[in-house]
Chain A
Amino acid sequence: MAQNTVAPQQKPNKQKNSQFSGMSKALVRRETISAYCFLLPSLIFFVGFVVVPMFICVFYSFMEYGLGGIKGFAGLDNYIKLFQDPIFHRGFLNTVLIVVIAVPTVTAFSLWVSSAIYKMHSVPRSFFRCVFYLPVVTGSVAITVVWKWILHPYNGLLNQVAGTTGFDWLGNSSTAIWFIILILFTTSIGQPIVLYVAALGNVDQSLVEAAQVDGATKLQVFWKIKWPQIMPTTLYVLVITTINSFQCFALIQLLTKGGPLNSTMTIMYQVYDTAYRLNDLGYANAIGVVLAIIIAIFSAIQFKVAKTD
């Protein structure tokens, strides 16, 4: 028992000794203080604009809170209401659908495109990176306006080409969510492609060549050599795409406002709708807290799975 408790304590000491070997205690202290001084400005903003609002959000979620301020303590009422709210149920299912479809699709597609372009000459590679990154820098509002024009029921490009004038793609509860996912996809692939091109370019070529000399197939080279080396990038892409998909808001606000018949309602949009249209701030905060918990759970699962791999 005693041995078990001593052993883990020695390990950090060893690390610490090696990390600061050759440095006096005074020097270490000065370095540490300097580091904290550099961190301080960011820390102030992080605490002030992220941590504190998070706690305030949790606090308000237990309150009956409207435009006139806090009207009283609501206890768990907002959370109970949430689990009985059919719009929240629909929003939750739609959010999960968006995440489940968009995240693997974005990751796989961007990896595929990156694999195809990362070995190209710098000019065409930059061209393709630029093309795929354009929707990211263009901004969701401009992209949405263009899509709105493409999908316009009477004058839209899609209906003109398909000969389906009058069909309301965004006004049909069977099709609207799929177009939201499609547009989200087009705006989400730019950053992963840039990251993957860089990651694939950094794969140790000596290992690749050695594997090829040993007779490894292309699939084996990818799966056994490249994939493990780009795993940190993949994990980052997965987490970022998941969070972006959960927080998909602008597209829905500008295109469908959660309709038709809540078919594109998401948890994120319901937070906005409840807070700013219905002025039920306590309930909106409760939805926000639940959304944060769901995102945290998804991210933790992704980290766990990626770490296991």
Chain B
Amino acid sequence: MKKKRILALALAASMSLGLAACGGGEEASTESPSGNGGESTGAVELNLWSFNIGGFTDSAAWEPIVAAFNEANPDIKITVTPINYQDGDQKLTTAISSNNAPDIIFEGPERIVGNYAREGLMVDLSDMWTSGGSDIAEGISSVSQLDGTYYMYPLSVAAHCMAINYEAFEAAGALQYIDEETRTWTTDNFVKAMEAIRDAAAAGTIDVTVPGIIYCGAQGGDQGTRALVNNLYSDYYVTDDGSSYNANSENNVKALKLLQDMVNNGSMSANASFAASDELQAFANQTAAVTFCWNYSNYTQYAEQTQFTPFAMAFPSDDGKPELEMAGPYGFGIFNNGDEAKIEAAKKFIDFVCNDKTAGVEAVKTTGFFPVHSEWGDVYADAEDADVRAPFALMSDYLGRYYALTGGWTEQRALWWPMLQEIMTTGADVQTAADSFVQQANANIG
């Protein structure tokens, strides 16, 4: 009996100690040496959570940048946690709500400014803009702030575009409908091209299953379907004054009706179980002849799979003058964890990555996009794949308004793809569905 009691007590004690050990982990690691030979005086440990932007898919991609930073700042230890768009929001929400938010986040203004700064979670970075943001375009600086205060410092930017299967278009005789030099096309020509692809596929001339897929199974990659609808008849997603979502405007309804008609006549397909990644995969394996979710990052991701030339194109517009959605600008924000030493160290790191030309150019190249600093010029001029990158640089000329900071943005994203499902897969009345979308989206616009 005595043995049993001793065993029970020992077991209980070990479990309690185990719990205590778990609880004490963070403190222990904070006090540990920060890579400067064991000296811990003034050492700061920062957690950087990085979304999978371009080549920043794992912590190894950050290693050369962090190593270069540590040469000048050995007392600042950076721990990188890669997160992705599948479950990154879930991880961040969990971390924030349990007071364990990371120190630095690498993402775009939609989350840094629109979500987190709006909730009062981010540090004011205005001083960084004063010292280093003079050559950053107004369009980028304007989306890095909320009510006049900067909460994000940008690194790189690009434009979302679409792409076509060049060989399929050529075989279907559809290249006549695109301007290969400017990579633009009109809405009429887009319709003709899609019909040509449909007919060629039916005749067996080309080996694709569908001309294109309007994916509406989830919100991932919804910038593609937004840009497609908005460009077809040159309208905007949000009204000029930002007071209302605009899907039910005359031109946007006309665009949605056109796409509905195309789905009905087989020159387009719609899939309510497809997200952008499914559509991209369908494009890569030649199931579809176009993709509406393209950028350099996706090009590199699918390059090995594609047995054809993915030809980047701007979205079609009635006047041939597209306005593309901004991919990014991607940059950094600092969560206000109340530790001034950490905040200062985080600013040092961001300043190094975004303003030091050597480190910054490497970081920009890893994203695969283009620098926000106009003074840095063409960072890919000497790159081996400069010709591949050139079309994406061209797309930057077509950048349009940025509206992802409109109030209720997160909530409206949850409404957009169900609206597309309703219109494209059930044949619902476009005006009614668009009115319903706008009414619900505007309820959260603030």
A positions within 8 Å CB-CB of B: 27, 30-31, 33-34, 37-38, 40-41, 44, 48, 66-69, 151, 153-155, 165-166, 168-173, 176, 255-257, 259-262, 272-273, 275-279, 281
| Known interface pairs A260-B217, A277-B414; A40-B15 also in contact (CB < 8 Å) | yes
Interface size class of B (residues with CB under 8 A): 35 or more
Q: Is B210's CB within 8 Å of the partner chain A?
A: yes
Chain B residue numbers with a CB within 8 Å of A48 are 19
Q: Is B28's CB within 8 Å of the partner chain A?
A: no
| Known interface pairs A261-B418, A279-B410; A166-B269 also in contact (CB < 8 Å) | yes
Chain B residue numbers with a CB within 8 Å of A67 are 93, 96-97, 115-116, 119, 121
Q: Is B193's CB within 8 Å of the partner chain A?
A: no
User: What does the 1/0 interface line of B13-30 toward A look like (CB < 8 Å)?
Assistant: 001100100000000000
Pick 14 A–B contacts, CB within 8 A, sort by A.
A40-B12, A66-B119, A151-B273, A153-B271, A154-B287, A166-B209, A166-B210, A168-B273, A171-B217, A255-B273, A259-B218, A272-B90, A276-B93, A277-B410
Chain B residue nearest in CB terms to A273: B414
Chain A residue numbers with a CB within 8 Å of B271 are 153, 168, 171
Q: Are A171 and B273 in contact (CB under 8 A)?
A: yes
Residue from B90, B97, B287 whose CB has the most chain A CB atoms within 10 Å: B97
Give Cα A173–Cα B8 distance, bound, in whole angstroms. 56
Cβ-neighbour of A261 out of B19, B218, B426 (below 8 A):
B426
CB distance from A13 to the nearest CB of B (A): 25
Q: Are A168 and B272 in contact (CB under 8 A)?
A: yes
Give Cα A276–Cα B9 distance, bound, in whole angstroms. 41
CB distance from B269 to the nearest CB of A (A): 7
Chain A residue numbers with a CB within 8 Å of B272 are 168, 170-173, 259-261
Q: Are B418 and A278 in contact (CB under 8 A)?
A: no
Q: Are B273 and A276 in contact (CB under 8 A)?
A: no
Q: Are B119 and A278 in contact (CB under 8 A)?
A: no
Chain A residue numbers with a CB within 8 Å of B119 are 66-68
Q: Are B426 and A173 in contact (CB under 8 A)?
A: yes
Chain A residue numbers with a CB within 8 Å of B274 are 153, 168, 171
Chain A residue numbers with a CB within 8 Å of B219 are 277
Chain A residue numbers with a CB within 8 Å of B410 are 277-279
Q: 5 extra interchain contacts, Cβ-Cβ under 8 A, other than A44-B15, A67-B115, A260-B418? A: A34-B5, A154-B209, A155-B285, A261-B422, A272-B90
Q: Is B282's CB within 8 Å of the partner chain A?
A: yes
Chain B residue numbers with a CB within 8 Å of A27 are 1
| Known interface pairs A41-B11, A44-B16; A68-B120 also in contact (CB < 8 Å) | yes
| Known interface pairs A67-B93, A67-B96; A278-B421 also in contact (CB < 8 Å) | no
Chain A residue numbers with a CB within 8 Å of B275 are 257
Q: Are A30 and B5 in contact (CB under 8 A)?
A: yes
User: What does the 1/0 interface line of B107-139 toward A look like (CB < 8 Å)?
Assistant: 000000001100111000000000000000000
Chain A residue numbers with a CB within 8 Å of B216 are 260
Q: Are A259 and B418 in contact (CB under 8 A)?
A: yes
Give Cα A286–Cα B123 distance, bound, in whole angstroms. 31
Chain B residue numbers with a CB within 8 Å of A273 are 414
| Known interface pairs A34-B1, A256-B217; A278-B411 also in contact (CB < 8 Å) | yes
Give Cα A279–Cα B422 distance, bound, in whole angstroms. 25
CB distance from A86 to the nearest CB of B (A): 11
Q: Are A154 and B422 in contact (CB under 8 A)?
A: no
CB distance from B224 to the nearest CB of A (A): 17
Q: Are B90 and A276 in contact (CB under 8 A)?
A: yes
Chain B residue numbers with a CB within 8 Å of A278 are 410-411, 414
Chain B residue numbers with a CB within 8 Å of A272 are 90
Q: Are A260 and B209 in contact (CB under 8 A)?
A: no
Chain A residue numbers with a CB within 8 Å of B70 are none
Q: Is B425's CB within 8 Å of the partner chain A?
A: yes
**In the complex, the 5 A-B pairs of residues with the closest C-beta atoms, listed nearest first:** A37-B8, A171-B272, A68-B119, A260-B272, A171-B273
Give Cα A38–Cα B15 distance, bound, in whole angstroms. 11
Chain A residue nearest in CB terms to B19: A44
Chain A residue nearest in CB terms to B121: A68
CB distance from B436 to the nearest CB of A (A): 11
Residue from A169, A170, A262 whose CB has the most chain B CB atoms within 10 Å: A170
Give Cα A226–Cα B271 distance, bound, in whole angstroms. 50
Chain B residue numbers with a CB within 8 Å of A66 are 119
Chain B residue numbers with a CB within 8 Å of A256 are 217, 273
Cβ-neighbour of B273 out of A31, A68, A153, A281 (below 8 A):
A153
Cβ < 8 Å to A, chain B residues 266-294? 269, 271-275, 282, 285, 287
Chain B residue nearest in CB terms to A279: B93
Give Cα A7–Cα B94 distance, bound, in whole angstroms. 54
Q: Are A38 and B414 in contact (CB under 8 A)?
A: no
Chain A residue numbers with a CB within 8 Å of B273 are 151, 153, 168-171, 176, 255-256, 259-260
CB distance from B418 to the nearest CB of A (A): 6
Q: Are B1 and A30 in contact (CB under 8 A)?
A: yes
Chain A residue numbers with a CB within 8 Å of B15 are 40-41, 44
| Known interface pairs A67-B115, A256-B217, A260-B425; A37-B209 also in contact (CB < 8 Å) | no
CB distance from A169 to the nearest CB of B (A): 8
| Known interface pairs A153-B273, A154-B209; A259-B16 also in contact (CB < 8 Å) | no
Q: Are B287 and A276 in contact (CB under 8 A)?
A: no
Give Cα A256–Cα B218 distance, bound, in whole angstroms. 8
Give Cα A262–Cα B415 distance, bound, in whole angstroms. 11
Give Cα A192–Cα B89 distance, bound, in whole angstroms. 36
Cβ-neighbour of A34 out of B4, B287, B425 (below 8 A):
B4
Chain A residue numbers with a CB within 8 Å of B269 are 166
Give Cα A226–Cα B35 distance, bound, in whole angstroms. 68
CB distance from B362 to the nearest CB of A (A): 33
| Known interface pairs A67-B116, A261-B426; A275-B9 also in contact (CB < 8 Å) | no
Chain A residue numbers with a CB within 8 Å of B9 are 37
CB distance from A192 to the nearest CB of B (A): 30
Cβ < 8 Å to A, chain B residues 397-412? 410-411
Give Cα A44–Cα B11 distance, bound, in whole angstroms. 12
Chain B residue nearest in CB terms to A254: B86
CB distance from A279 to the nearest CB of B (A): 6
Give Cα A76–Cα B273 distance, bound, in whole angstroms. 36
Give Cα A92–Cα B268 distance, bound, in whole angstroms. 35
